[in-house]
Amino acid sequence: MKKICLFLALFFSINLSAEPFEGFGVSLCWWAKECGKWPQERLDSLVEWLVSPEGLNYRIFRYNIGGGDDPQWTHCTPHHFGARGGKGLRAEFEGFQDEKDGPYHWDRDEGQRRILLMIKKKRPDAIFEAFSNSAPWWMTVSGCNGGAEKATDDNLDPKHYEDFARYLVEVCKHYKETYGIEFRTLDPFNEPETNYWYRNGGQEGCHFDVKSQVKFLKVLSPILKESGLKTVISSADETSVNQAVKTFEGYRKAGVLPLIGQYNTHTYSGSVENKRKLAAYCREHGIRLWQSESGDGGRGLMGNLRMARRLIEDMKTLKPAAWLDWQYVEVNFDQWSLVKCDREWKTYMRHKNYYVRQQFSRFILPGYECLNTEDDDYTTLMAQSPSGDSLVVVRITFKETKAAPVIPAGYVLSAAYRTSFREDVAPVALPEVAKGEAYVPFSIVTGIYERR
C-alpha cells in the first residue's frame, strides 16, 4: 500500500493518567443472561464479534452478581421488572442465597456464566470485574430488590451489612475455585446516590448515601482481605461524574480511599470540568480510574456518532484506564447496544453502533496513550502506541469539511477506514485522507500512521 507523508506540526502532550489504557469492554448484565440460552453455534459468532481482534476487540467485562427477588413476591408485585417502564424480564436475576445462613445455589445464573466462560476461553487476556446492583431481597429494608419504599432511602438493612459483604465475597471465591476466574475488582454499588431505585421498580437497584457507602466499605474490606483472593474493591459507579466527584471527596474526608483499588464512574452526565477534576483526584491518590458504564439515546447513525463524541470527550478529559459500554445486545434498538435482536432473542445482527465503536476499539490497543490535542470540540482522538511507532487518529465529521486533522510531524499514513451511512469500517483511499476528502458528513474515519 502506498504511503502518504504528512509534514504537519501539532502541539500535543502525553496523557498523564494514573494508569495506562487497558482497553474497551462492556457489562454482561442483562444481555448475557438471555443470550446465554442460545444454541452454541449462534453464541460462537456473537462472542467472536465481541472479543476477536478483527471484531470489537473488547477485553474488559463486568459480571453482575444478582441479588434476586422474593420468589413469593411477598413485598412487591410479581415480575415487576416486566411492567410498563421496567427493563423487562431480562433484568430479573436469580440470587445465589435465599435466606440468612442458607445454602448457595450455584446452578443459577447459567446464561451469564456460560458467556463469561466462553469469553475466558476465547480471550485469555480478559479482565473481569464483579459488581452488584442490589443485595438479595431478604437483606433489604423493603423486602424488594428494586429499592426502598422511598427512592432516596437506603435499602440495605444495616444489620445485614456483614451478610451482604460475605455474600459478594463467597460468589467471587466460588468463581475462582470452580472456574479459575478471579475477578480483579469487586464493586458493591451501582449508581448508589440517585433516586432511581424504589420498591416495585424497573430493575435491581439499591440506594446508598455516601456515609452508608463508607460504612459498608469498612465492613467489606477486611472480609475480602481475609478471603485469600487477590480481588480488590472498586467503587462507586455513580451515574454522573458530578456526583462521582462528590463521592470521591466524601471517601477522602472519611479516610477510606486506601480501602479501594479502583474508582469507577459512569458518564451518562457530568461536566468537562468535573471529568478533569476526577481524573486529577485519581492521579493524585494513585487510584486506577475506569469509565465503567455509558450509553445514550438518539436515532440511527446520528445518535451513534453523538455517543462516539462522548467517548472522545471521556478519553480526553476523564482519561480513564478503561472505557465500557452498558449493553452489547438489545431488542430492536440501535442506540443502547452494538448488536440488536428480535423480541424472542432469536435473530440478531450488528448495527451501525457496532461499527462506530469498532473504529476505536479495533485500533486503539491496550497500552496506547491518548494525546491532548488543541481542537477541542471533541471530534478528534489521537492515541499513540507505547513505542511511539504507531499513531491512531479517529475523526468524527458531522458537517461537510475538507479540513483534515493536523498530525504530528514524522508520521506516515498507512491505512484508513470509514463508517458512514453506506459503509461499515470500509477501507479508504489514502489520497482522500491526505486531501481531507475522506471526511464526508455524518461519518467516522480512523487513520493508522507509522513513524517514518
> Which CATH number fits the domain that encloses residue 381?
2.60.40
> What predicted TM-score, i.e. pTM, was given to this entire model?
0.95
% of the chain at pLDDT higher than 90: 85
**Amino acid letter for position 345:** W
Q: Contact, 108 vs 114, CB < 8 A?
A: no
Residue 297: predicted pLDDT: 86
Cell numbers linked to 187: 464493586
| H/E element, 127 | strand 127-132
Query: How many angstroms separate the CA atoms of 395 and 392, rounded?
Result: 10
Split at pLDDT 50, 70, 90, the class of 395 is very high
Cell numbers linked to 365: 490497543
Which bin fits 57, alpha (ψ -120 to 50), beta or left (φ > 0)?
Answer: left
Determine the average pLDDT of the residues in 1-7: 39
The top-scoring range by mean pLDDT among 15-24, 30-39, 87-96 is 30-39
Cell numbers linked to 425: 469500517
Report phi then psi at 160, rounded to 5.
Answer: -110, 15
Q: Domain end: 297, 331, 363, which one?
A: 363
Q: Domain end: 342, 363, 384, which one?
A: 363
Query: How many angstroms separate the CA atoms of 450 and 411, rounded?
Result: 5
Cell 499514513, residue located: 413
Residue 17 lies in a domain: no
> What is the DSSP code (8-state) at residue 317?
I
Q: Same domain, yes or no, for 244 and 151?
A: yes
Residue 169 lies in a domain: yes
Residue 374: predicted pLDDT: 67
Split at pLDDT 50, 70, 90, the class of 6 is very low
Cis peptide before 236 (omega within 30 of 0): yes
Q: Domain end: 341, 363, 385, which one?
A: 363
Query: How many angstroms separate the CA atoms of 330 and 340, rounded?
Result: 5
Q: Same domain, yes or no, for 164 and 308?
A: yes
Query: How many angstroms separate the CA atoms of 290 and 409, rounded?
Result: 31
Q: Same domain, yes or no, for 142 and 123?
A: yes
Residue 376: predicted pLDDT: 76
- Inform me whether the pLDDT recorded for 9 exceeds 50: no
Split at pLDDT 50, 70, 90, the class of 4 is very low
Q: Same domain, yes or no, for 244 and 285?
A: yes
Nearest to 30 by CA among 77, 96, 97, 89: 89
Strand pairing partners for 349?
A: 340
Residue 251 lies in a domain: yes
Determine the average pLDDT of the residues in 414-436: 95
* Cα dist from 384 to 127, 137, 365, 408, 447, whole Å: 22, 47, 9, 11, 12
Q: Same domain, yes or no, for 446 and 337?
A: no
Determine the average pLDDT of the residues in 248-259: 98
Q: Same domain, yes or no, for 245 and 158?
A: yes
Query: How many angstroms separate the CA atoms of 289 and 445, rounded?
Result: 27
Note the Cα 103 to chain centre separation in Å.
Answer: 32
Q: Same domain, yes or no, for 32 and 99?
A: yes
- What is the count of structural domains for the chain? 2
- Inform me whether the pLDDT recorded for 16 exceeds 60: no
Query: How many angstroms separate the CA atoms of 327 and 31, rounded?
Result: 7
Note the Cα 398 to chain centre separation in Å.
Answer: 25
Determine the average pLDDT of the residues in 354-380: 92
**Amino acid letter for position 67:** G
Residue 401 lies in a domain: yes
Q: Same domain, yes or no, for 296 and 402?
A: no
DSSP three-state, residue 417: strand
Nearest to 48 by CA among 2, 144, 115: 115
Residue 288 lies in a domain: yes
Query: How many angstroms separate the CA atoms of 331 and 345, rounded?
Result: 7
Residue 40: predicted pLDDT: 94
pLDDT digits (tens, 9 = 90+) for 123-173: 999 999 999 999 999 999 999 999 999 999 999 999 999 999 999 999 999
Domain that holds residue 428: 4-12+374-451
**Amino acid letter for position 209:** D
**Amino acid letter for position 341:** C
Query: How many angstroms separate the CA atoms of 329 and 319, rounded?
Result: 26
Q: Same domain, yes or no, for 51 and 189?
A: yes
pLDDT digits (tens, 9 = 90+) for 227-241: 999 999 999 999 999
Q: Same domain, yes or no, for 315 and 443?
A: no
Residue 368 lies in a domain: no
DSSP three-state, residue 15: coil
Nearest to 406 by CA among 395, 397, 417: 395
Residues 6+ apart with CB under 8 A from 300: 334, 352
Nearest to 49 by CA among 416, 364, 329, 345: 329
Q: Same domain, yes or no, for 342 and 414?
A: no
Residue 369 lies in a domain: no
Average pLDDT, the chain: 93
Residue 153 lies in a domain: yes
Q: Same domain, yes or no, for 347 and 243?
A: yes
> Which CATH number fits the domain that encloses residue 235?
3.20.20.80
